[in-house]
Amino acid sequence: MWTQFLPLMEERVSLLEQAATAFSANKLSTQQHQAATTAAHKLAGVLGTFGLTKGTVLARELEIMYSREGGPERSLAPRLTTVAAELRTIIGSRK
């Protein structure tokens, strides 16, 4: 099952990385914001299914930050980038 879900998980992490980059540049669109919220939510669920608890916790953290009314706080821009990179590492380590 892992190999079946891997491309979708990598796509979701890419969305989160792109959203973090756009947010850092103060160019996060409404569409990207919604996509990031959805991607984080779905990653949290699927990573838990595969026993990647740390990944679930990190994805949930992003979901909470993106779900906040008005989007993440400006001061969290570096954290968005860091967490997305950590998710990529966690997923990559399972290949």
Q: Which of 81, 13, 75 is nearest to 43 (CA)?
A: 13
What pTM value is reported for the model? 0.94
pLDDT at 70: 84
Q: Residue 40: which pLDDT band, with cuts at 50, 70 and 90?
A: very high
Segments in 1-95 forming alpha helices (H): 2-24, 30-49, 53-67, 77-92
62-90 residue pLDDT tens: 999 999 988 899 999 999 999 999 999 99
- As a whole-number percent, the residues of the chain with pLDDT over 90 amount to 92
C-alpha–C-alpha distance, residues 36 and 65, integer Å: 10
pLDDT value, residue 95:
64
1-34 per-position pLDDT tens digit: 889 999 999 999 999 999 999 999 999 999 999 9
